[in-house]
Amino acid sequence: MPRIAAIFCALFLAAAAALASAQQVTPERAASLEHLVVQDCGSCHGLTMKGGLGSPLTREAISHYDPDVLALVILDGVPGTAMPPWRPLLSEADALWIAEYLLEGDSK
Amino acid sequence: MKRMTLGLAAALMLAAAARADTTATGDLGLVIERTTGSVLLVDQSDRAALARIEGLGDLSHASLVYSPDERFAYVFGRDGGLTKIDIVKREIAGRVVQAGNAIGGAISDDGELVAVSNYEPGGVRVFDADTLDMVADFPTGSKTIGLVDVPGRKFVFTMWDSGETWIADMSGAEPRITKIPDMGKNPYDALVTANGRTYITGLFGEDGLTALDLWEQDPQPIRVLPGYGRGEQKMPVYKMPHLEGWALAGDEFVLPAVGHHEVLWVDARSLKETGRTRTHGQPVFAMARPDGRQVWVNFAHPENDTVQVIDTLTKQVIHEFKPGPAVLHMEFTPRGHEVWISVRDAGKIMIYDTHSFEKLREIDADSPSGIFFTARAHRTGL
């Protein structure tokens, strides 16, 4: 069991390390990602990110997460909940950009 | 005597002036502008926008119901705001922020009570439709969805977390609650048939739906289409479907499948499956034209630029078109000759003839979502 946990942990770290940089996102792509966050993430998390069927994503609510971890949640979803994996629609750089965008909150 | 006559004449003139100002609301409607916290007052017959009313808060996932006289709308905002709009005066007539996070509402059959279902704090709160004073509070300890009105001054609602449905009977001096457990895992929305008899909740946590026969003394959960996606990989769900607008063609109705590219046909009496129609994407709304002859379907992100029309006799897709980016909602005129479609990212409401499929008009709107015509005032469950 500890070995499985270790493997999982290693995989997780490897995946996190493999994530691309948010810098790779062009300004045009960033604009469309911002639109996606407000409108489509907003369907579940609220337009102001205060939550709905999905958890709140305000800066206060998520500030204790690393951007890489949030990016993985975006890409792979949360099994057993309504959070879907966005990997079919978003690149790793996209997800990281969104994670950083959310962590910067209103200051952006 | 003369003074009295003058007084009478003045009174009559005032009355005449008031009559000249009368607004007929029967063909009006409101469109939610979700990002700007405003609603657009529209005229169905003129296919035009009349006015914008602002100051309604966070309107993501907002919906509304109408008073029986079609003068007032009660708008349910995401941020827990309950706003009463006077359509005649084109202004806000009252507003309370009744919870932290809300998901929809209903109005009682007599028009006296407005109920709101909330995520935070989870439960349902009931308000006096005149004053917006709270008259009842039903904490459920769960995100609460699928709130509808049913005949007899009752509301029915369901819990996302606990999978229970409650019936709140508001006809007596004290509310009476009937609890029905075991409706299924993670109910996400519900609808009631126009006669108020069959309540159906869709499940996110399992393939299937659960029905209640509200005419029964002691309604019990009836499983509908259990395991409808068996053997198929369920796809990621980027937008929860909505159950509203219920298609009856003869004795069948049609429902969106969750996580699959299809709509499901069910016999309304036996609740057994009678067919499936493959669709362009994951359906969000599957809405019947009021006569039941067609079902119009829109789709979840990223297939949300498309609408398909299904013929209810053949269950075949007879028309497909792309109104534009992010089709969020569709509303039929009460007799179904036209449909109004909100296309969020185009910033337009588009109006189509449902027989020729010809586009008749576009109306500018700011990120439009739900479209609600006043005729809903006279429909149970809407």
pLDDT of residue B295: 95
Cα torsion B179, B213, B121, B105: sign: negative
| Nearest CA among B50, B31, B25 for reference residue B374 | B25
In angstroms, the separation between the Cα of residue B246 and the nearest Cα of chain A is: 22
Q: pLDDT at residue A1 above 50? A: no
C-alpha–C-alpha distance, residues B106 and B129, integer Å: 11
What's the total number of domains in chain A?
1
Task: Give the ipTM.
Answer: 0.78
The answer to whether the CB of B156 falls within 8 A of the CB of B180 is no
User: Which chain B residue's Cα is nearest to A47?
Assistant: B60
Q: List, for residues B233-257, the tens digit of each pLDDT value.
A: 788 999 888 887 666 666 888 999 9
The percentage of chain B sitting over the pLDDT mark of 90, rounded to a whole number, equals: 81
Q: pLDDT at residue B1 above 60? A: no
The answer to whether the CB of B263 falls within 8 A of the CB of A50 is no
DSSP chain A: -HHHHHHHHHHHHHHHHH---GGGS-HHHHHHHHHIIIIIIHHHH-TTSS-SSSPP-SHHHHTTS-HHHHHHHHHH--TTSS----TTT--HHHHHHHHHHHHHGGG-
Domain assignment present for residue B322? The answer is no
Mean pLDDT, all residues of chain B: 92
Tell me the mean pLDDT in the region B137-149. 96
Higher pLDDT, B292 or B22: B292
C-alpha–C-alpha distance, residues B102 and B100, integer Å: 7
Cβ within 8 Å, pair B60-A52: yes
pLDDT of residue A13: 52
Tell me the mean pLDDT in the region A36-57. 89
C-alpha–C-alpha distance, residues B179 and B192, integer Å: 17
Cβ within 8 Å, pair B119-A51: yes
Residue B98 sits in a domain of what CATH number?
2.130.10.10
Judged by a CB distance cut-off of 8 A, whether residue A39 touches chain B is yes
| Nearest CA among B185, B184, B226 for reference residue B207 | B226
Q: pLDDT at residue A6 above 80? A: no
Residue A81 sits in a domain of what CATH number?
1.10.760.10
Name B356's Cβ contacts closer than 8 Å, sequence gap at least 6.
Answer: none
Higher pLDDT, A20 or B196: B196
Q: pLDDT at residue A10 above 70? A: no
pLDDT of residue B18: 55
Q: CA separation (Å) from B113 to A59, B74, B191?
A: 37, 11, 19
- Residue with token string 């966050």: A37
Q: List, for residues B18-76, the tens digit of each pLDDT value.
A: 555 788 999 999 999 998 999 999 999 999 999 999 999 989 889 999 999 999 999 99
Domain assignment present for residue B223? The answer is no
C-alpha–C-alpha distance, residues B188 and B202, integer Å: 6
pLDDT of residue A3: 55
Q: pLDDT at residue B16 above 60? A: no
pLDDT of residue B252: 87
Range of the domain at B74: 57-181
Judged by a CB distance cut-off of 8 A, whether residue A84 touches chain B is yes
Tell me the mean pLDDT in the region B214-224. 96
* Number of residues in chain A: 108
Judged by a CB distance cut-off of 8 A, whether residue B56 touches chain A is no
Element (H, E) at B318: strand B317-321
Tokens linked to B170: 């508001």
C-alpha–C-alpha distance, residues B143 and B124, integer Å: 10
Interface of B with A in 326-345 (CB under 8 A): 326, 344-345
Domain assignment present for residue B1? The answer is no
What's the total number of domains in chain B?
1
Tell me the mean pLDDT in the region A72-95. 94
Domain assignment present for residue B284? The answer is no
pLDDT of residue B46: 97
DSSP B11-22: HHHHHHHHHHT-
Domain assignment present for residue B327? The answer is no
pLDDT of residue A91: 95
Range of the domain at A12: 2-107
Domain assignment present for residue B151? The answer is yes
Q: List, for residues B319-345, the tens digit of each pLDDT value.
A: 999 999 999 999 999 999 999 999 999
**In which band, very low, low, confident or very high, does the pLDDT at B228 lie, cut at 50, 70 and 90?**
confident
Domain assignment present for residue B189? The answer is no
Domain assignment present for residue B108? The answer is yes
Q: List, for residues B151-160, the tens digit of each pLDDT value.
A: 999 999 999 9
